[in-house]
Structure 1
Amino acid sequence: MINNSLMLYLYDAKLTNPNGDPDEENRPRMDYERSINLVSDLRLKRYIRDYLLDKGYELYVQKIGDRSVTAEERVKDLKDANDEEIFKKFIDIRLFGATVPVKNDNKSFIGPVQFNWGYSLNKVELLEASITSTFASKEKNQQGAMGKDYRVKYSFIAFSGVISGKRAEYVKLTDEDIALLDEAMKKAIPLQATRSKIGQTPRLYLRVEFKDNQTMLNDLRGYIKLAGEEESLRSIEECALECGRLKAYLDQNKDLIAKVYYFKDDELRLLVDGKACSILDVLAGLQVKEL
């Protein structure tokens, strides 16, 4: 049986574009009133899907070669498939769910793994630069085409996510699938770097696994904060993560928690009530497993 889990995922972005907004000339998504950088859940799921694809898993949401295909084309060989056959074929449906057109109908599956939007723990400034292509902008215009390149100067991004044990049971999610998810959270972003995405580094991941499929705790982002110059950060060396309230909250609920799976980047400094500590200090009293 799969039990519920609650996830906390932190990564930083330096001179890169974590999630471009096509409605804003591909500028990084922002809450301009608060100067907070935003990243959609779909961007994070895309990293995970691309990582699984590179490992040889067949996905429901994927291109064929370099060509985008319709949902109908992805399931053309599954016209008479039952739900279990669909779950068995596509790991991303087991994880995230999907709407699948089968037998002239739509099957909708709510995935057990869900993330909400990520946001930066610091105030973020944007960098705007002009770029020039070496190709002519038009056949008669031999000058290179001009464009804009938008990046964040530094953003420390926090995501929260859940795994629903009840939904996991329905879509046949396995412990092996969850282990792959943990692996992707650690490795996917660095391995999927492109010109606009290079400069992003996972810093901390916690998956708090509960003892049943009934328990859930609050969004863990509410129990952490960055210690440093909030409005002018430029690198991981200039800040630390204050975890005193997180430690207290996990300890308060330790009887509900079966195990905490974690990884922590060596460059991330942790504090408990202003004093330097290790990740094991934060998780003291809990069963833990390092990824």
Structure 2
Amino acid sequence: MKKKEILFLWDGENFNPNGDMLRENAPRIDDETNIAEVTDVRIKRTIRDEIMKKDERRIFIKEYKKTLRDEKNNTTKDVVLDCKQAIKEVGIDVNKSKGEIVNEILSRFIDIRAFGGVLPISEKQKSKKKGKDDDGSLADEKESGANVTSVTFTGPVQFRMSKSLHRVQLKQIKGTGAFASSYSETDVKLQKEQATFREEDFLSYAMFATYGIFDNNNAKNTNFSEDDAREILSALWNGTKNLITRSKMGQTPRFMLIITYKDDTFAGDLNNSISLKSAKSDEAIRNINDYTIDFSNLNAKLQRYAQNIEKIEYVSDFDFEKNNKAGFGESWQKIGL
């Protein structure tokens, strides 16, 4: 695979693109700038979820559950497995050589080829055996065993923290649940007080810029190919749209720029090379027709690297291209994903 950079623009209305667990799952917002943020982990999760819809066996990093039965109490319960148990659950023989295990993991799981990871594959094995003293007599039992075995992969596909191209407005929605949190059969006053209440935070609107790099050197180490790269890009584009959940419905992929280089050179920092232009204040923006994207700095940067660039491709939805086509570079080639 040749070195690539991508710039991915996507938006949404009345949504929560990435909840912050430390803030009761409210959207992530930088306190100083009021810019919304989405972690690289959320972006990778979008890609994994989309690929899993076609064949979940090709994704390793996911939740593994196993049903255990308590014979004494005649009950069952589902438990979440750790990584070492998950390795065994997918049928990888941890007794093979490290090289064989590495090859099998990389050949089966596209997310490990793309994003890498540190995977513990076995516990410390301890065994006791009889030893002999220098005089040949049996000594006390001696303990031997290998250290914890793990494999580490540095993934070629990495994403920066995604940020909105404008300051955002946070909207709070309050409501009541359908069922009480508890119930009193005798106290009427308490019955009225026992309804459940909920508060949810959403962004009124946000346009995000995601920057990613596909490194050709690490790609060699994980056998990540051009075909893999296209599948990852397709899953990012289509997965963003296909997140049909209450908090993310309406997310729309708008534009993706894919730059393929001839060598190890790359421009870098593509997300900070564009800007959003609008007659409205940032917080008043509500849809894609309220602004345009200024590509002039990006085009100037790419022109400086023209000798190192093999090709520049783009994907765009209809509305984005209609509003912004005048700013596209002349050499950009439109493709589909």
Q: TM-score, normalised by structure 1?
A: 0.91
Alpha-carbon distance in 2 for matches of 1:64, 1:139: 35
The structure with more radius of gyration: 2
Higher deviation after alignment, 52-61 or 159-168? 52-61
- How many residues were matched structurally? 283
1:33 Cα deviation after fit: 1.4
- Extract unaligned runs of 5+ from structure 1: 271-275
Task: Give the alignment of 1:92-241 within 5 angstroms.
Answer: 92-103=111-122, 104-140=148-184, 143-212=194-263, 214-228=264-278, 229=280, 230-241=282-293
- Extract unaligned runs of 5+ from structure 2: 66-77, 123-147, 185-189
The 4+ residue runs of structure 1 with deviation greater than 2 A are 63-69, 139-144, 285-291
Partner of 2:73: none
1:231 Cα deviation after fit: 3.3
Partner of 1:46: 45
Deviations for 1:127-171, whole angstroms, at most 9, x for unmatched residues? Answer: 011121102211336543111111001111111110110111110
Partner of 2:62: 62
Deviations for 1:60-103, whole angstroms, at most 9, x for unmatched residues? Answer: 11124697431112211321243111101111000100111124
Q: Identity over the aligned pairs, expressed in percent?
A: 31
1:260 Cα deviation after fit: 2.2
| Contact 1:123/1:232, CA 8 A, preserved across alignment | no
**Residues 121 and 263 from structure 1, CA distance in 2 versus in 1: closer, same or farther, beyond 3 angstroms?**
same
Deviations for 1:193-240, whole angstroms, at most 9, x for unmatched residues? Answer: 20011121111111211112x122121112210111223211111111
| Contact 1:11/1:204, CA 8 A, preserved across alignment | yes
Alpha-carbon distance in 2 for matches of 1:95, 1:127: 36
Partner of 1:285: 331
Partner of 1:273: none
The amino acid across from 1:130 in the alignment is K
Alpha-carbon distance in 2 for matches of 1:195, 1:38: 19
Secondary structure of 1:138 counterpart? coil
The amino acid across from 1:262 in the alignment is Y
**Residues 220 and 100 from structure 1, CA distance in 2 versus in 1: closer, same or farther, beyond 3 angstroms?**
same
**Residues 219 and 7 from structure 1, CA distance in 2 versus in 1: closer, same or farther, beyond 3 angstroms?**
same
- 1:84 maps onto 2:103 in alignment: yes
Alpha-carbon distance in 2 for matches of 1:131, 1:277: 39
1:266 Cα deviation after fit: 1.5
Task: Give the alignment of 1:238-257 within 5 angstroms.
Answer: 238-257=290-309
Alpha-carbon distance in 1 for matches of 2:37, 2:310: 32
**Residues 86 and 268 from structure 1, CA distance in 2 versus in 1: closer, same or farther, beyond 3 angstroms?**
same
Alpha-carbon distance in 2 for matches of 1:53, 1:67: 21
Q: TM-score, normalised by structure 2?
A: 0.79
The amino acid across from 1:63 in the alignment is E
Secondary structure of 1:86 counterpart? helix
